[in-house]
Structure 1
């Protein structure tokens, strides 16, 4: 009796599994058909969006397609403008930061120059006094400078007690060993 009951249960379970398989296969076939149809519709819409296969469409379908494209373009432009504004804003922040950093570096440079001039013992006022006392223009090219006065050792002085025109022309013509170096010309009084 137990064996008969076991066989009965096995047979009923196998019938249920077979029925379930038939139902699931039917559901899968239906699902496959729906997905295939959906894929074909999407491919047709893509072709229409690209401007292909427009001949079979009616006026209403064309207007609907145009409206969809206009809406999509508006969304795209809005997103593009948003990204551009964010980029411009970021670049303006970078520009402001670079200007601030540049100003800070300029201030530091001025402070360093001021410290350097104080360390050298010549402040801005002292430097101007020195330049006024010795009006020698260092920005003039050597060819434009007047030659420094010459000192002739062991020679005779003329009646005027200074250089003669010949001596001056000789000094201009070329350097000699009797010309005083420029550093000997200037002596500072502190």
Structure 2
């Protein structure tokens, strides 16, 4: 990692090395790396706790906060699922209405054809 950073700094900040500020850049980069690493490890620990693993080091207040967070997330998931199902229900009801209207139109057409056939056959007899 350091070698990669060093090569990058040589290419990008070649003139700065002569002034001795390359060491400062290297140190700040390393500090940033350590901060990112600590943040990453903290997020991994938090994820394990959300999944129910590694809860031993938590105190009662932290467990309560975790429980509250999980309940809130569950409510949000349920709300989203309910909203999705209601949207689907509305779409299905709209389709049902269209099919019923189409069915009624076909029935009227069929009745008209039947009536025309009845009238045509009765006229032919006279």
TM-score by structure 1 length?
Answer: 0.54
CA distance in 1, matches of 2:26, 2:55: 38
CA distance in 1, matches of 2:61, 2:35: 26
Superposition deviation, residue 86 in structure 1: 0.4
Superposition deviation, residue 103 in structure 1: 0.4
CA distance in 2, matches of 1:20, 1:102: 82
1:30 partnered with 2:31: yes
1:172 alignment counterpart: none
CA distance in 1, matches of 2:106, 2:21: 81
1:184 alignment counterpart: none
Q: Helix, strand or coil: the match of 1:75?
A: helix
* Equivalent runs, 1:28-177 vs 2, <5 Å: 28-120=29-121, 122=122
Superposition deviation, residue 71 in structure 1: 1.0
Q: Helix, strand or coil: the match of 1:51?
A: coil
Structure with max Cα Rg? 1
Change (3 A) 1:20 1:114: farther
Runs of 4+ in 1 over 4 A off after TM superposition: none
Superposition deviation, residue 24 in structure 1: 2.2
CA distance in 1, matches of 2:87, 2:72: 23
Q: How many residues align?
A: 112
Change (3 A) 1:41 1:117: same
